[in-house]
Amino acid sequence: MDIATLTAFITPFLPFLLKLGKGSTEAATESTAGKFGEAAWQKAQAVWKALRPKVQAKESAKEAATDVANNPEDEDLQAALRVQLKKLLADDKALADSIAQILEEESADGAPGTQIIQNVTGKKNQAIGQVSGGKVFGAVEGSVTINE
C-alpha cells in the first residue's frame, strides 16, 4: 500500500473524523458528506474505523493525526503523519491489507478506487500527481509527455 496516497486521502477528512463520537451531530456528518461527496466520506470513515484503534494506542501517531487535523495544509505535519502511518502499517500487515482493500473498492456510484481531486487556482499553476484506474478530466495546454 502506498502510504503517501493513504495520507493524502485521509488528510482533508481528519478534522471531521476526529470529532466523530465526541457529540458530533448528524447534521455535521451530513455537512461533511456534502462537502466531500457521500462516497468519499463513507470511504474515509471506513479507513478511519480501521486505523483509529492503532492511532489512539500510539501517542506519537495520535499527536500526528491531531496536528494534521488542526493544520491540514502543513506539509511537514503531513510528513510526520505519513511516518507514523508507515510504522503502524508495517507492524500490522492485516491492517495494511484491510485499508488497501477499502481504498481500492469501487464506490456505490461506480467510481473505481481512490480518487484524489486537486483544485488549482491562479494563472498557469501546475498540479502534479499520479492516477491509476478511473478517468482523468482536465485542461491541458502546451506539450504533454506520456510514458507507458
Instruction: Give residue-wise pLDDT tens across range 20-65.
Output: 766 555 555 666 667 777 888 889 999 999 999 999 999 999 999 9
Angle between helix axes 38-57 and 93-104 (nearest 10 degrees) is 170
Of 92 and 111, the one with more pLDDT: 92
pLDDT digits (tens, 9 = 90+) for 124-147: 665 555 554 444 545 556 666 666
pLDDT given at position 140 = 57
Residue 39 pLDDT? 83
117 — phi, psi (to 5°)?
-105, 125
pLDDT at 105: 80
> What is the pLDDT averaged over residues 57-79?
95
| 94-108 pLDDT per residue, tens | 999 999 999 888 655
The per-residue pLDDT for range 78-93, each reduced to its tens digit, is: 999 999 999 999 999 9
Q: What grid cell was written down for 37?
A: 461527496
- Model pLDDT, residue 75: 93
Q: How far is CA 28 from CA 12, 35, 40, 70, in A?
A: 15, 11, 15, 17
Dihedral sign for Cα 37, 9, 120, 68, please: positive
C-alpha cell at 38: 457521500
Query: How many CA atoms lie within 13 Å of 68's alpha carbon, on the beta-carbon side?
Result: 28
